[in-house]
A and B are shown apart, each in its own frame.
Chain A
Amino acid sequence: MGRIFLYCNLFWVLFSVITCVEAYRLTLGTVHEPGPGFFPFGAGFIMLILSLAALLQSRAKKQKVEETSRQETFRWWNILIILTAITAYALSLEKIGFLINTFLFMCLLLKVVEPQTWKTAIIGGLITTLAANLVFNVVFRTQIPKGILGF
């Protein structure tokens, strides 16, 4: 299981190399007259050294990994669903509007991630949507788009 840390550190090595390359393209300047790429290059370079050191370290000794109890199913799909749902919410917010989006979002979460009955999902979604609308749009008038419903 210590291979996970190997991959992590490889990732950071890669990340720092890319950063340094990109920073170099932004002109480094000199130490006395630093250009836009100076600072990111420096940070990337330090990260490179650190991750290389960590890489060597993780190969040298077998590190103990805290295992999350694998007795229960690892429901990775929940994570995917949640992240996709939020992304969809964000992208459609200005077209569809706050009320509908929030309602659909809440129903989706309640029904799919931690399955509830349809009744709970819909009622819960409704209450939350209305409450959120009250707090944000009415009390604070924070201008969240109204969208196609127009209200």
Chain B
Amino acid sequence: MQKKIGTGRHFILFVTLACLLWAGSSQAQDYPASPVQIVIPYSPGGLTDIFWRSVSDALASYMKGTIMMVNKPGGGGVVGTSFVANAKPDGYTLVNISPEAVSIAAAFTANMPYDIEKDLTYIAKASEVGFGIAVRDDSPFKTLEELVAFAKANPKKLKVAGMGIVGTPHMIMGVFQREANIETTYVPFDGGSEVVATLLGGHTDFAVVSLPPASPHLRSGKLRMLAACSPRRFPTFPAIPTMAEKGYKRSSFATALGLGGPKGLAPAIVSKWEEAIDKTMKDPKVISIVEKIDGVVIDFKGGEDYKKELMANFPVFKEIVSTLPGKK
């Protein structure tokens, strides 16, 4: 395909020029030249893991590259996120960004291994993962209003089970208690399924449940969901009103799944990913897979907006944490 150049010297010149042009061309055009590592800072099999693995094929094809998922669990997401925050900003090491490892973790401790404002590049938000306020079928509370009324009359009497302390359910309850002016006792458990098991066994009065473990019981009627903590209604449970619809706008938030990287990522690389994620979350094949995962609501946002959203709740989280025993 190359024109035959006359003398050898001209040939060398031509090749050198071509190489220089090639090397000098914008990095982003050849990016990604090798597999990109996306770190999932949680154990394999969790919701985050399943989500990213479900979309990775489509995402890779939109990025025109290969993606490798790596699990680096620990510290509620902090270990894996810290690994990426300290990695080279060449665009080949990225990480899942969820509030647990960012705004919530920072609210709990000042000794973060990375500064959530400065040490991370926020690329995009892909989806939200909602929770729900649920009771057992034999509970006296048929609506959220009844529960709030009882809680107002009996401060600290109602026990609510939720997943973890450094996590979104705890924060949701914190904000909800402030918005509705009630006091309940939050009992943390280790995983979404434990929370559901506790509620099913009647050991607490209500619970902030994650959808996947709760859904078979919601369908069978053993559990009743009073409201959805999510900006939009769940695709798999469209009959359940959101907290916002019930009048608690501030409590209607969920945890999110997004992508980020170390600080100093080239803007061209960031926008390439932003675009790819946007396309992926609009791809009908992806939508059909993702919407089957209970609790996941597709919600694309660009990097800047995602960062704003995460930081917006940060002051409230700090305030909630300050009221915990041992933190005074």
Contact = CB atoms under 8 A, between A and B. Distances in A.
Question: Are chains A and B touching directly in their complex (CB below 8 angstroms)?
Answer: yes
A137 to B, nearest CB: 12
A35 B325 contact: yes
A90 B199 CA distance: 44
Contacts of B68: 143
B325 A29 contact: yes
Contacts of A63: none
Nearest to B37: A143
Contacts of A35: 325-326
Contacts of B70: 143
Given A143-B68, A143-B70, A26 B326 contact: yes
Nearest to A28: B326
A143 B37 CA distance: 10
A36 interface: yes
A92 interface: no
Interface string B291-328: 00000000000000000000000000000000001100
A11 B301 CA distance: 56
Contacts of A33: 325
A27 B327 CA distance: 9
Nearest to B327: A27
Contacts, number: 11
Nearest to A37: B326
Interface string B36-62: 000000000000000000000000000
Contacts of B325: 27, 29, 33, 35
Nearest to B34: A150
A135 B326 CA distance: 48
Interface string A4-30: 000000000000000000000011010
Interface residues of B, number: 4
A33 B156 CA distance: 14
Contacts of A26: 326
A149 B169 CA distance: 45
Interface string B58-73: 0000000000101000
Interface in A28-62: 29, 33, 35-36
A36 B325 CA distance: 9
A35 B68 CA distance: 42
A110 to B, nearest CB: 31
A46 to B, nearest CB: 22
B259 to A, nearest CB: 19
B92 to A, nearest CB: 12
Interface in B62-100: 68, 70
Of B68, B70, B325, the most chain A CB neighbours within 10 A belong to: B325
A125 to B, nearest CB: 27
A29 B324 CA distance: 12
Interface string B260-304: 000000000000000000000000000000000000000000000
A36 B70 CA distance: 33
A124 B270 CA distance: 46
A35 B327 CA distance: 10
B202 to A, nearest CB: 23
A35 B326 CA distance: 7
Nearest to B328: A27
Nearest to A35: B326
B262 to A, nearest CB: 15
A29 B68 CA distance: 46
B23 to A, nearest CB: 19
A27 B325 CA distance: 9
Contacts of A27: 325-326
11 contacts: A26-B326, A27-B325, A27-B326, A29-B325, A29-B326, A33-B325, A35-B325, A35-B326, A36-B326, A143-B68, A143-B70
Interface of A: 26-27, 29, 33, 35-36, 143
Interface of B: 68, 70, 325-326
Closest 3 pairs between A and B when the two form their complex, measured CB to CB: A27-B326, A35-B326, A143-B70
Given A26-B326, A27-B325, A29-B326, 8 more contacts: A27-B326, A29-B325, A33-B325, A35-B325, A35-B326, A36-B326, A143-B68, A143-B70
